[in-house]
Protein backbone atom coordinates (compact mmCIF):
# COMPACT_ATOMS: atom_id res chain seq x y z
CA UNK A 1 0.00 0.00 0.00
CA UNK A 2 1.30 3.45 -0.90
CA UNK A 3 2.15 5.87 1.89
CA UNK A 4 -0.47 8.61 1.73
CA UNK A 5 0.14 12.24 2.65
CA UNK A 6 -3.28 12.12 4.37
CA UNK A 7 -4.33 8.57 5.25
CA UNK A 8 -7.65 9.02 7.12
CA UNK A 9 -10.47 7.41 5.02
CA UNK A 10 -12.52 10.52 5.80
CA UNK A 11 -10.06 12.41 3.58
CA UNK A 12 -11.02 10.16 0.69
CA UNK A 13 -14.69 10.98 1.32
CA UNK A 14 -13.87 14.71 1.33
CA UNK A 15 -12.04 14.38 -1.98
CA UNK A 16 -14.97 12.41 -3.41
CA UNK A 17 -17.40 15.14 -2.35
CA UNK A 18 -15.28 17.88 -3.89
CA UNK A 19 -15.04 16.05 -7.21
CA UNK A 20 -18.76 16.88 -7.55
CA UNK A 21 -18.44 20.62 -6.84
CA UNK A 22 -16.68 23.06 -4.48
CA UNK A 23 -18.12 22.98 -0.94
CA UNK A 24 -17.45 24.30 2.54
CA UNK A 25 -16.79 21.73 5.31
CA UNK A 26 -20.29 21.97 6.77
CA UNK A 27 -21.79 21.23 3.35
CA UNK A 28 -19.44 18.27 2.95
CA UNK A 29 -20.55 16.92 6.33
CA UNK A 30 -24.23 17.41 5.48
CA UNK A 31 -23.83 15.70 2.11
CA UNK A 32 -22.08 12.69 3.62
CA UNK A 33 -24.73 12.34 6.33
CA UNK A 34 -27.60 12.69 3.87
CA UNK A 35 -26.09 9.81 1.93
CA UNK A 36 -25.55 7.77 5.14
CA UNK A 37 -21.81 7.56 4.50
CA UNK A 38 -21.11 7.91 8.23
CA UNK A 39 -22.22 4.28 8.51
CA UNK A 40 -19.15 3.26 6.51
CA UNK A 41 -16.69 6.08 7.24
CA UNK A 42 -16.13 7.46 10.74
CA UNK A 43 -17.33 11.04 10.66
CA UNK A 44 -17.41 13.80 13.22
CA UNK A 45 -17.30 17.54 12.69
CA UNK A 46 -14.03 18.13 14.55
CA UNK A 47 -12.07 15.50 12.65
CA UNK A 48 -13.56 16.75 9.37
CA UNK A 49 -11.99 20.18 9.85
CA UNK A 50 -8.64 18.59 10.69
CA UNK A 51 -8.81 16.49 7.54
CA UNK A 52 -9.73 19.52 5.41
CA UNK A 53 -6.77 21.46 6.85
CA UNK A 54 -4.42 18.55 6.12
CA UNK A 55 -5.67 18.18 2.56
CA UNK A 56 -5.21 21.90 1.98
CA UNK A 57 -1.72 21.82 3.52
CA UNK A 58 -0.66 19.12 1.05
CA UNK A 59 -2.16 20.90 -1.95
CA UNK A 60 -4.90 18.34 -2.59
CA UNK A 61 -7.65 20.93 -2.11
CA UNK A 62 -7.54 24.72 -2.07
CA UNK A 63 -9.64 27.53 -0.65
CA UNK A 64 -11.72 29.08 -3.41
CA UNK A 65 -13.69 31.77 -1.59
CA UNK A 66 -15.13 32.74 1.77
CA UNK A 67 -18.86 33.36 2.09
CA UNK A 68 -21.24 34.51 4.81
CA UNK A 69 -24.92 33.55 4.93
CA UNK A 70 -26.99 35.90 7.10
CA UNK A 71 -25.67 35.93 10.66
CA UNK A 72 -23.80 32.66 10.27
CA UNK A 73 -20.01 32.64 10.62
CA UNK A 74 -17.90 32.96 7.50
CA UNK A 75 -17.35 29.68 5.68
CA UNK A 76 -14.48 28.82 3.37
CA UNK A 77 -15.41 27.00 0.18
CA UNK A 78 -12.83 24.47 -1.00
CA UNK A 79 -12.21 23.03 -4.45
CA UNK A 80 -10.24 19.93 -5.35
CA UNK A 81 -6.93 20.48 -7.17
CA UNK A 82 -5.50 18.42 -10.03
CA UNK A 83 -3.17 16.80 -7.51
CA UNK A 84 -6.22 16.01 -5.38
CA UNK A 85 -8.04 14.40 -8.31
CA UNK A 86 -5.00 12.25 -9.04
CA UNK A 87 -4.66 11.29 -5.37
CA UNK A 88 -8.36 10.39 -5.13
CA UNK A 89 -8.28 8.15 -8.21
CA UNK A 90 -5.05 6.42 -7.16
CA UNK A 91 -6.13 5.95 -3.52
CA UNK A 92 -9.59 4.59 -4.37
CA UNK A 93 -8.11 2.28 -7.01
CA UNK A 94 -5.66 0.89 -4.47
CA UNK A 95 -8.35 0.34 -1.85
CA UNK A 96 -10.60 -1.50 -4.32
CA UNK A 97 -7.86 -3.73 -5.72
CA UNK A 98 -5.64 -4.55 -2.73
CA UNK A 99 -6.89 -6.53 0.31
CA UNK A 100 -5.33 -5.37 3.56
CA UNK A 101 -5.16 -6.83 7.05
CA UNK A 102 -7.79 -5.15 9.25
CA UNK A 103 -7.75 -5.82 12.99
CA UNK A 104 -11.35 -6.20 14.12
CA UNK A 105 -12.50 -6.48 17.72
CA UNK A 106 -14.17 -9.83 17.08
CA UNK A 107 -10.99 -11.28 15.61
CA UNK A 108 -9.11 -10.12 18.71
CA UNK A 109 -11.74 -11.79 20.90
CA UNK A 110 -11.42 -15.04 18.95
CA UNK A 111 -7.64 -14.92 19.35
CA UNK A 112 -8.14 -14.78 23.13
CA UNK A 113 -11.13 -17.13 23.23
CA UNK A 114 -9.51 -19.64 25.58
CA UNK A 115 -9.38 -17.03 28.35
CA UNK A 116 -12.99 -17.83 29.26
CA UNK A 117 -14.56 -21.23 30.03
CA UNK A 118 -16.19 -22.95 27.03
CA UNK A 119 -19.70 -22.82 28.51
CA UNK A 120 -19.36 -19.08 29.15
CA UNK A 121 -18.17 -18.59 25.58
CA UNK A 122 -21.19 -20.49 24.30
CA UNK A 123 -23.52 -18.23 26.28
CA UNK A 124 -21.81 -15.11 24.93
CA UNK A 125 -21.78 -16.37 21.36
CA UNK A 126 -25.46 -17.22 21.66
CA UNK A 127 -26.08 -13.56 22.54
CA UNK A 128 -23.99 -12.55 19.52
CA UNK A 129 -26.07 -14.80 17.27
CA UNK A 130 -29.24 -13.11 18.48
CA UNK A 131 -27.78 -9.66 17.80
CA UNK A 132 -26.52 -10.72 14.39
CA UNK A 133 -30.03 -11.89 13.50
CA UNK A 134 -31.38 -8.47 14.49
CA UNK A 135 -28.73 -6.65 12.43
CA UNK A 136 -29.31 -8.86 9.40
CA UNK A 137 -33.07 -8.32 9.60
CA UNK A 138 -32.58 -4.54 9.84
CA UNK A 139 -30.11 -4.49 6.94
CA UNK A 140 -32.43 -6.49 4.72
CA UNK A 141 -35.35 -4.20 5.60
CA UNK A 142 -33.23 -1.13 4.86
CA UNK A 143 -32.14 -2.48 1.49
CA UNK A 144 -35.71 -3.42 0.61
CA UNK A 145 -36.94 0.06 1.53
CA UNK A 146 -34.16 1.68 -0.51
CA UNK A 147 -35.14 -0.43 -3.52
CA UNK A 148 -38.82 0.47 -3.11
CA UNK A 149 -37.86 4.15 -3.04
CA UNK A 150 -35.96 3.77 -6.28
CA UNK A 151 -32.44 4.14 -4.92
CA UNK A 152 -30.03 2.56 -7.45
CA UNK A 153 -28.10 -0.41 -6.02
CA UNK A 154 -24.86 1.46 -6.72
CA UNK A 155 -25.60 3.76 -3.79
CA UNK A 156 -26.42 0.96 -1.34
CA UNK A 157 -23.63 -1.41 -2.30
CA UNK A 158 -21.77 -0.90 0.99
CA UNK A 159 -24.89 -2.05 2.86
CA UNK A 160 -25.01 -5.18 0.71
CA UNK A 161 -21.36 -5.81 1.56
CA UNK A 162 -22.04 -5.35 5.28
CA UNK A 163 -25.00 -7.72 5.03
CA UNK A 164 -22.83 -10.36 3.34
CA UNK A 165 -20.22 -10.01 6.10
CA UNK A 166 -22.83 -10.35 8.83
CA UNK A 167 -24.39 -13.40 7.19
CA UNK A 168 -20.97 -15.02 6.83
CA UNK A 169 -20.15 -14.21 10.46
CA UNK A 170 -23.46 -15.69 11.61
CA UNK A 171 -22.71 -18.92 9.75
CA UNK A 172 -19.19 -19.04 11.21
CA UNK A 173 -20.35 -18.43 14.79
CA UNK A 174 -23.09 -21.05 14.59
CA UNK A 175 -20.60 -23.60 13.26
CA UNK A 176 -18.07 -22.73 15.98
CA UNK A 177 -20.73 -23.10 18.70
CA UNK A 178 -21.75 -26.50 17.35
CA UNK A 179 -18.14 -27.71 17.40
CA UNK A 180 -17.62 -26.49 20.97
CA UNK A 181 -20.81 -28.22 22.10
CA UNK A 182 -20.11 -31.58 20.49
CA UNK A 183 -16.40 -31.53 21.35
CA UNK A 184 -15.23 -31.71 17.72
CA UNK A 185 -13.25 -28.45 17.98
CA UNK A 186 -9.63 -29.56 18.28
CA UNK A 187 -8.23 -28.47 21.64
CA UNK A 188 -11.60 -28.04 23.34
CA UNK A 189 -10.92 -30.79 25.88
CA UNK A 190 -7.71 -29.16 27.07
CA UNK A 191 -9.46 -25.80 27.10
CA UNK A 192 -12.24 -27.14 29.32
CA UNK A 193 -9.77 -28.99 31.57
CA UNK A 194 -7.71 -25.84 32.09
CA UNK A 195 -10.72 -23.91 33.42
CA UNK A 196 -11.74 -26.83 35.62
CA UNK A 197 -8.29 -27.65 37.06
CA UNK A 198 -6.04 -24.67 36.35
CA UNK A 199 -3.57 -26.95 34.54
CA UNK A 200 -2.43 -25.65 31.17
CA UNK A 201 -2.66 -28.09 28.24
CA UNK A 202 0.49 -29.09 26.32
CA UNK A 203 1.16 -26.26 23.88
CA UNK A 204 4.47 -27.58 22.55
CA UNK A 205 3.33 -27.65 18.93
CA UNK A 206 1.36 -24.41 19.08
CA UNK A 207 4.18 -22.05 18.03
CA UNK A 208 5.18 -24.26 15.10
CA UNK A 209 1.57 -24.54 13.98
CA UNK A 210 1.03 -20.79 14.15
CA UNK A 211 4.20 -20.22 12.12
CA UNK A 212 2.97 -22.59 9.39
CA UNK A 213 -0.38 -20.79 9.35
CA UNK A 214 1.35 -17.40 9.10
CA UNK A 215 3.30 -18.57 6.06
CA UNK A 216 0.09 -19.69 4.36
CA UNK A 217 -1.52 -16.31 5.06
User: Which domains are present in the chain?
Assistant: 9-97 (1.10.10.10), 105-216 (no CATH)
Q: Of 64, 68, 67, 66, which is closest to residue 78 (Cα–Cα)? A: 64
- Over residues 149-162, the mean pLDDT reads 94
- Over residues 186-211, the mean pLDDT reads 76
pTM across the whole model: 0.82
- Over residues 163-171, the mean pLDDT reads 98
Task: Give strand pairing partners of 23.
Answer: 78
With a CB cutoff of 8 Å and minimum separation 6, the contacts of 181 are 122
- Over residues 21-39, the mean pLDDT reads 92
At residue 181 the predicted structure's pLDDT band, cuts being 50, 70 and 90, is very high
Amino acid sequence: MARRRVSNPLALAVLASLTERPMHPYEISTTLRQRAKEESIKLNYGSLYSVVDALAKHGLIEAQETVREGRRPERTIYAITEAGKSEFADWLSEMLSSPVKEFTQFEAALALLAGLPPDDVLTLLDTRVMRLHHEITALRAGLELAAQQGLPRLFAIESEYWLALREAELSFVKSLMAQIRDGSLEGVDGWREYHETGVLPDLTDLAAGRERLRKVE
